[in-house]
Amino acid sequence: MSGLELALSGFGLMLLGIFLRIPIGAAMFASGFIGTWIVLGRPTATLSQMKTLTYDTFSSYSLTIVPLFLLMGQFATKSGMSGALFNAASDWLGHRKGGVAMAAVGACAGFGAVCGSSLATASTMGQVALPEMRKRGYSDALSTGVLAAGGTLGILIPPSIILVIYAILTEQNLVKMFIAALVPGLLAAFGYMVTVAIYVRIRPDAGPVAARKPLRARMKTLAKVWPVVAIFTLVMGGIAADWNWLKPGAQALFTPTEGAAVGAIATGLYGVATRSLGWGAFKASILETAQASAMIFFIIFGAQVFNAFLAFTQAPQALADWVSLQGYAPMTVLLAMLLCYLVFGCVMDSLSMILLTIPIFFPIIETLDFGLTSEQTAIWFGILALIVVEVGLITPPVGMNLFIINQVGGDIPITQTYRGVLPFVASDLVRVVVLLMFPSISLWLVGVMF
């Protein structure tokens, strides 16, 4: 059996495990372990390799950013920032057709700026916004659809856990990845708002108009979102801006890992100062961060074992060479990869998709000529992959965000959520096409700042 055939067999075994409802990290670990055993031919060599791989994986300084950003998101959730964001957006937009749904999108974007997780954004904002939208007479389809879609902004608006993992896997500059994601993230929020506007004009009863709030009341609620703006500016400004005037010889005030720590501390201090983060909420935040980090690290370890097996078979390089020899147009190959993400989104979460596919896809992408530098290609592909992974989270029938929002809704039929999210899936696909045709949208801000 050739290396490529062995790799495909291992991939099939892993997918079988996933379909049998084995945890994804365990399925990747088992497939990689068995495959490595077959390649090396000796169980002792395989076990020795596991020992080395375990240390190399979890001793990585770069991974410390993951629990820190997760803790920042937990503190933001427990401190009531999500409610303040939604109330401010609702007061300013609620008097328009579909305004509360637009406000939910804006609040998701704002919360994503301090969270970094799609599922956490969808769950948190669903609990805040869904009851309010239903109370104001919004249709169940629009309410759940817009919140499921808005939740995906949690991984697109920086900071993003998925971008952190992508940058580590491909050895890219994390700061540049964050900056590159900012414009597409804002474009996503704008596209969702336009989708809401079109939706309520086709079905006026789906998003009734609320009374306009007085200017003084709107300014009062707007003032309450200053912590989100301040923390986002502190974190992103600190890791991205040129602070030579403050620290001669330095390019940034702190590294991304230090920025994550500063963001977590600032968010926690805000919660303590406002008395919204008591001792019980603090302990819950630490525990939930530890649980989420353990889950992510286990998936990362499983992916590392499986990717080590692929490296032994030399399948990624063989596949890259094969694609180069076929003479396919670069855009054709890229479209095929993006289509794979849409399919994988039906059975996998976003982190698993990135960890599983990037070691296979990225060597192929590096061989293709898109008229960009190698770094620009890596950044552009990362943003495209992130967006298509995001689409997978809301694509019926098994998009994970759909089930999160439907669970929050309680008595809302899942078919209503499916119906409501389809216009937002269409908006995402249009955005993917635009970013494919115009890479400069993703790369422009990086070029300006670096």
pLDDT at residue 242 in the model: 56
Distance CA 117, CA 289 (A): 12
The helix (run of H) or strand (run of E) holding residue 1 is: none
Asked if pLDDT for residue 155 goes beyond 60, the answer is yes
Half-sphere exposure of 405 (CA within 13 A, CB side): 38
Asked if pLDDT for residue 216 goes beyond 60, the answer is yes
pLDDT at residue 246 in the model: 47
Measured in degrees and rounded to the nearest 5, phi and psi for residue 95 equal: -80, 0
Distance CA 71, CA 81 (A): 14
Distance CA 266, CA 272 (A): 10
**247-295 pLDDT, tens digit each:** 544 566 778 888 889 989 999 998 898 888 888 989 999 998 898 888 8
Asked if pLDDT for residue 380 goes beyond 60, the answer is yes
Q: Which of 400, 384, 374 is closest to 337 using CA atoms?
A: 384
Q: CA–CA distance from 189 to each of 195, 419, 431 (Å)? A: 10, 20, 11
Distance CA 199, CA 190 (A): 14
Distance CA 405, CA 418 (A): 11
pLDDT at residue 146 in the model: 92
Q: Looking at this protein, which amino acid is placed at residue 407?
A: Q
158 within 8 A of 113, measured Cβ to Cβ: yes
CA dihedral of residues 172, 175, 180, 183 (deg, nearest 10): 160
Q: Taking each helix axis as running N to C, give the angle between helix 99-112 and helix 140-151, from 0 to 180 degrees, rounded to the nearest 10.
A: 20
The predicted model gives 402-417 an average pLDDT of: 84
The helix (run of H) or strand (run of E) holding residue 377 is: helix 374-392
Q: CA–CA distance from 200 to each of 77, 394, 400 (Å)? A: 30, 20, 25
Q: Which two tokens stand for residue 450?
A: 């670096």
Q: Which of 403, 227, 270, 310 is closest to 31 using CA atoms?
A: 310
Q: DSSP readout, 70-81?
A: HHHHHHHHHTTH
pLDDT-based confidence at 395, cuts 50/70/90? confident
- Predicted TM-score of the model (pTM): 0.85
Q: Which of 95, 127, 79, 445 is closest to 269 using CA atoms?
A: 79
The predicted model gives 209-238 an average pLDDT of: 85
Q: Which two tokens stand for residue 267?
A: 């968010």
Distance CA 446, CA 423 (A): 31
pLDDT at residue 432 in the model: 92
60 within 8 A of 300, measured Cβ to Cβ: no
DSSP, collapsed to helix, strand or coil, labels residue 384 as helix
**162-188 pLDDT, tens digit each:** 888 899 888 888 889 999 999 999 999
A 10 A CB-CB count for 283 gives: 10
Distance CA 317, CA 314 (A): 6
The predicted model gives 59-68 an average pLDDT of: 84
Q: Which of 93, 84, 105, 82 is closest to 210 using CA atoms?
A: 93
Asked if pLDDT for residue 245 goes beyond 50, the answer is no
Q: Taking each helix axis as running N to C, give the angle between helix 174-202 and helix 256-273, from 0 to 180 degrees, rounded to the nearest 10.
A: 50
Average pLDDT along the chain: 85
